[in-house]
Amino acid sequence: AQSVTQLGSHVSVSEGALVLLRCNYSSSVPPYLFWYVQYPNQGLQLLLKYTSAATLVKGINGFEAEFKKSETSFHLTKPSAHMSDAAEYFCAVSVSEVGNEKLTFGTGTRLTIIP
Amino acid sequence: DGGITQSPKYLFRKEGQNVTLSCEQNLNHDAMYWYRQDPGQGLRLIYYSQIVNDFQKGDIAEGYSVSREKKESFPLTVTSAQKNPTAFYLCASSIGTAPSAEQYFGPGTRLTVT
């Protein structure tokens, strides 16, 4: 079965600094990978997704992620943090297997922005 | 505006009572999902439905039930058999169940059982 591991349940960065949120996946077949963002007491919103078209994926709000098969990673980055980026971020994986059509989420990383 | 609505936003119940959480979508999506979110545990799949009148158990279906009588609606009942029902519940939908399909989420219902 597929899984994702998000390293660091809490990450703090200064406003204007680089944001790096880590995600490693485990899958026996080629994965589809997603990053979602959740603001307090709200649902999740898709930031970006990898579907094998290109290894560097650009998303909304200036975020991007790079799929690295050799490292089984899909880390999320943003060059310059903004106060509005404070939220919880979830990495998720799905695979193309009959009877296994579900999205598996990591445990999340809460991002705090320091003014 | 197309989207997913969940009601109510906050729900309080006494232990031993069944409670039904509403989820409606006007995105014309075939697939719908229910997740449970607990602090530090991410989202866990309770039930999902790929088409009207059909649904499958997810990873933590015990103590929950669902129905899918209409394409737009996928209500979740938390029964008295659910040992720890207090949680944040999220409903989602997608065009289909292809692994690349984006899931769209509702705003969630926070259930507190005392």
Measured at the alpha carbon of residue A67, what is the angle toward residues A61 and A69, in degrees to the nearest 5? 170
B49-108 pLDDT, tens digit per residue, is: 999 999 999 999 999 999 999 999 999 999 998 999 999 999 999 998 888 889 999 999
Q: Give how far Cα A89 sits from Cα of A11, A21, A36, Å.
A: 10, 8, 6
Contact B102 A34 (CB under 8 A): yes
| Chain B residues close to A41, C-beta within 8 Å | 9, 107-108, 110
**Choosing among B10, B37, B93, B110, which should be mutated to test the A contact, i.e. which has the most A CBs within 10 A?**
B37
The pLDDT score that the predictor gives to residue B1 is: 64
A17-69 pLDDT, tens digit per residue, is: 999 999 999 988 889 999 999 998 889 999 999 998 789 999 999 999 999 99
A83-93 mean pLDDT: 97
Position A96 confidence tier, pLDDT thresholds 50, 70, 90: confident
**Choosing among A29, A33, A89, A102, which should be mutated to test the B contact, i.e. which has the most B CBs within 10 A?**
A102
| Chain B residues close to A108, C-beta within 8 Å | 40, 42
**Choosing among A103, A104, A105, A110, which should be mutated to test the B contact, i.e. which has the most B CBs within 10 A?**
A103
The pLDDT score that the predictor gives to residue A79 is: 97
For chain B, the three-class secondary structure string (H helix, E strand, C coil) is CCCEEEECCEEEECCCCCEEEEEEECCCCCEEEEEEECCCCCEEEEEEEEECCEEEECCCCCCEEECCCECCECCEEECCCCCCCCEEEEEEEECCCCCCCCCEECCCEEEEEC
Q: How far apart are CA A10 and CA A17, in angstroms?
A: 16
Q: How far apart are CA A15 and CA A113, in angstroms?
A: 6
Position A101 confidence tier, pLDDT thresholds 50, 70, 90: confident
Name the region of B41 (left: φ>0; alpha: ψ -120 to 50; beta: rest). alpha
Question: Can you tell me which residue has the tokens 């119940």?
Answer: B13
The pLDDT score that the predictor gives to residue A28 is: 86
Measured at the alpha carbon of residue B97, what is the angle toward residues B92 and B100, in degrees to the nearest 5? 95
Residue A60 DSSP SS3: helix
- Name the amino acid, one letter, at A58: K
CB A109 within 8 A of CB A6: yes
CB A43 within 8 A of CB B107: yes
Contact B100 A94 (CB under 8 A): yes
| Chain B residues close to A9, C-beta within 8 Å | 40
Contact B99 A101 (CB under 8 A): yes
The pLDDT score that the predictor gives to residue B73 is: 98
B11-48 pLDDT, tens digit per residue, is: 999 999 999 999 999 999 999 999 999 988 889 999 99
Which residues, in sequence order, are bridge partners of residue B7?
B22
Of A102, A106, A108, the CB nearest to B45: A102
